[in-house]
Chain A
């Protein structure tokens, strides 16, 4: 059992933790919950030895200990899957999994045969499908997340810390992971599980600890909480109930066709996909990991070049060669892979928010400082981004707040078509609802929105129509009454004709 008592940590003026406490019992999965910027990652990093707290104590089985480094943490059997991953992109999968823990021969060499076996076992266990010799940088983000977890589990920890490990994972991967975690729990491990997906808390966790503003506000067995309770303790407000997707009714479909995609191909990942998006519509794109969703979006934006089919944007045939052209023409992309595609981590928060605006205007126009500041201040307020100062580097923001920043950037620009690729990855439930509301409002004002998400429930909640991808094709389109979890799951598995009873429409019919 591990106890952390009254931990405080401040970064300059920002108080990340002010007296947070948590008890982590053995043989249980403890959910660590809180809104973006509430200090969850900081607390995890304190235990992992990466952040040294300003005050407070850590007790292992009642004995006070000091954890000064990653090495200390490891020696005490604590291992961590970090929110921003600790993988080395330029090293291979195998080297990453074994790093710092390589099996050795009696002569102190790395035991290659054993390594191969360990890596194979780990990858089989986590159902990671790639070659052990692949470089990590070439893998999709969900595979990287799985690797990060596998790496932590491989160290045979007594305490396993998972910081938003499921944020990038798809349904099938989560099933695999949960089975493994339950197994580990039954073996007596202490597991801390940070997540923003509330249903996971009820599905998996035994205990819950809730942080707000760097303080522990509530803890207890999960069975004692309802969803409303959790949100209440996280935000201090009772949740307003949205009727999902209903308030924006079918009428909005009469808007102008903003995007018409016909038979788009981008082998090997996208094959013959057609889709129409009208002004005022929110369209969902679903599917398991790597079924072509994100390539489809990037093909629309011109980041990847289609080999067949046509794209009409605002009534005109287009073939963008670069995203810059698409952005000029009125598109925007919000990516969940913020580090790779969306953030300038060393630039200030203000500059980051303004980046979208800067990209659409004339290149040499004069930008008064005040204007930039006003623009960013408004965005920070609207999206409740928790910041120290606008002048801080964007990398100091908590994971979810970074994501909100990226969203703020684009919605503020007001594109005609907004593409969102897993945009609410790592965003807390409250902000997620706010973002959904903002998307709905933007849609009502005439924006067409296409959103893909790894979380199926999110799609069912926000989208009016969902195109489900399977092996690069649209295996079916859900709308109205057919938008149920069961239908979605069967389409995700590729069962196109299984329960066709008028519920599932083939994509062609939907277009008609």
Chain B
């Protein structure tokens, strides 16, 4: 019991706590709205439902996780969205145009995206160009590449390849969830290695990390490659979900993943973790869902009520804004625990001196 309250306290101090609060609120709202809308209170818990929701949103969640890695080392990449499309395009075109097996397409796509990530790392950490500018430039370059590989949406993925991705294992466990969990476990492993500490050190203050014998450029490069890998996985998920290619999709994931990270409690450099990304992205997704159900419920009970998607977006954006406010409040909570720490320390000092 004591250890439980202790770990709750500890969790409240972590940056992911903000994201967790938001995520919980959004989850409850979503469950309620969907329950009301469909008439079955627990509609959310139907495997078919959460399965398809996870499947459609896995690419976005993975992208946000990748973005959070970059934020930890003090970088960010807004071309991360269009990189998903790059992976998608290559996955489709290599088998279709070159007649190679599907896995070769995936491999080529992964390789291409690692290359792009390395190039991004070279520009932003080696040449020290501002990440914002590099991301902006990369968006255009990658778009150009995408369109030159695939001029318009097209392509197919064989049924026997995409079906396994879209099924539920044992009728309850979506494969997309497994992918997300696998990547998250990978992060946990990294976090417990020295590299994990170095990522934070470099993001916190490159000069001080350097003084401790860590090479900031190398560590940022490693973060970029990891990000490239995760985005690659996300792009493959996207391909399996759509079972076709589109050179210009997902561009907005770039900015949205960044916002999701900040909502989840990350700072620019050395603060936050991948959990922030997961919570932030899920918050994003769940809120949009909840608002959708809310409006479709309204249109059911009020005859003649119809709302354009613009209004729906407006409402979900307002809620996102409110989410930012929550961020401020929970940050205050964190400050308070910091203060408590100081207080304890003072008491400790008292005990020590009077002995």
Q: Which residues of A contact B (CB under 8 A)?
A: 48, 50, 69-71, 73-74, 80, 82, 85-91, 95, 98-102, 104, 108-110, 112, 129-131, 133-135, 138-139, 268-269, 288, 290, 470-471, 493-494
Contacts and interface: CB of A to CB of B under 8 A. Distances in A.
Contact of A91 (B201, B215, B338, B348): B201
A110 B353 contact: no
A290 B338 CA distance: 16
B270 to A, nearest CB: 5
Interface in B297-355: 338, 341-350, 352-354
A102 B189 CA distance: 15
B341 A134 contact: yes
A102 B194 contact: yes
Interface string B195-223: 01110110011011111111100000000
A139 B194 CA distance: 24
A263 to B, nearest CB: 20
B138 interface: no
A471 B350 contact: yes
A86 B194 CA distance: 18
20 contacts: A70-B210, A71-B215, A80-B211, A86-B207, A86-B211, A90-B200, A91-B197, A99-B198, A100-B212, A100-B214, A102-B197, A108-B193, A110-B193, A110-B194, A130-B345, A133-B10, A138-B341, A471-B353, A493-B353, A494-B354
Contacts of A493: 353
A391 to B, nearest CB: 23
B204 A88 contact: yes
B271 interface: yes
Contacts, number: 108
Contacts of A82: 211
Most buried by B among A74, A80, A82, A99: A99
Contacts of A69: 210, 213, 215
Contacts of A129: 345, 348-349, 352
Contacts of B10: 133
B198 to A, nearest CB: 7
Contacts of A102: 194, 197
B342 A138 contact: yes
Nearest to B347: A268
B192 interface: yes
A100 B198 contact: yes
B200 A95 contact: yes
A102 B196 CA distance: 11
9 smallest beta-carbon distances between A and B, as pairs: A100-B212, A88-B204, A86-B208, A86-B211, A71-B213, A100-B213, A74-B213, A102-B194, A138-B338
B270 A90 contact: yes
A139 B341 CA distance: 9
A50 B349 contact: no
B190 to A, nearest CB: 10
Given A69-B210, A86-B212, A131-B345, 5 more contacts: A69-B213, A74-B213, A86-B208, A108-B194, A130-B345
Most buried by B among A69, A129, A288: A129
Nearest to A72: B213
B342 A91 contact: no
Interface size class of B (residues with CB under 8 A): 35 or more
A447 B198 CA distance: 50
B343 A268 contact: yes
A494 B208 contact: no
A470 B207 CA distance: 38
Contacts of B345: 129-131, 134, 139
B328 to A, nearest CB: 18
A344 B23 CA distance: 38
B338 A104 contact: no
B353 A494 contact: yes
Contacts of A134: 341, 345
Given A109-B193, A135-B338, A50 B353 contact: no
A288 B212 CA distance: 30
A174 to B, nearest CB: 16
A288 B349 CA distance: 11
Nearest to A50: B211
B201 to A, nearest CB: 5
A488 to B, nearest CB: 16
Nearest to B346: A268
A112 B191 CA distance: 12
A91 B193 contact: no
A288 B353 CA distance: 10
Contact of B270 (A70, A91, A470): A91
Contacts of B215: 69, 71
Given A95-B200, A100-B198, A88 B209 contact: yes
Contacts of A112: 192
Contacts of B353: 288, 470-471, 493-494
Contacts of B212: 70, 86, 99-101
Contact of B210 (A50, A130, A133, A268): A50
A377 to B, nearest CB: 31
A184 to B, nearest CB: 20
A112 B192 CA distance: 9
Contacts of A471: 350, 353-354
A112 B197 CA distance: 13
Given A129-B349, A268-B347, A90 B204 contact: yes
A70 B207 CA distance: 10
A376 B61 CA distance: 54
Contacts of B210: 50, 69-70
B211 A88 contact: no
A139 B215 CA distance: 27
A129 to B, nearest CB: 5
A193 B271 CA distance: 34
A290 B349 contact: yes
Contacts of A73: 213
Contacts of B348: 129-130
A139 B201 CA distance: 18
Contacts of A290: 346, 349
Contacts of A85: 208
Nearest to B194: A102
Contacts of B200: 88, 90-91, 95
Most buried by B among A86, A112, A269, A493: A86
Interface in B149-205: 189, 192-194, 196-198, 200-201, 204-205
A110 B195 CA distance: 9
Most buried by A among B197, B211, B344, B347: B211
Contact of A99 (B192, B197, B207, B354): B197
Nearest to A290: B349
A98 B213 contact: no
Contact of B196 (A48, A110, A133): A110
A269 B341 contact: no
A88 B201 contact: yes
A60 B194 CA distance: 30
A102 to B, nearest CB: 4
A342 B349 CA distance: 27
A362 B245 CA distance: 63
Interface in B237-271: 267, 270-271
A95 B197 contact: yes
A99 B210 CA distance: 11
A234 to B, nearest CB: 27
Nearest to B352: A129
Given A88-B270, A90-B271, A129-B345, A104 B194 contact: yes
Contacts of B271: 90
A109 B209 CA distance: 19
Nearest to A45: B211
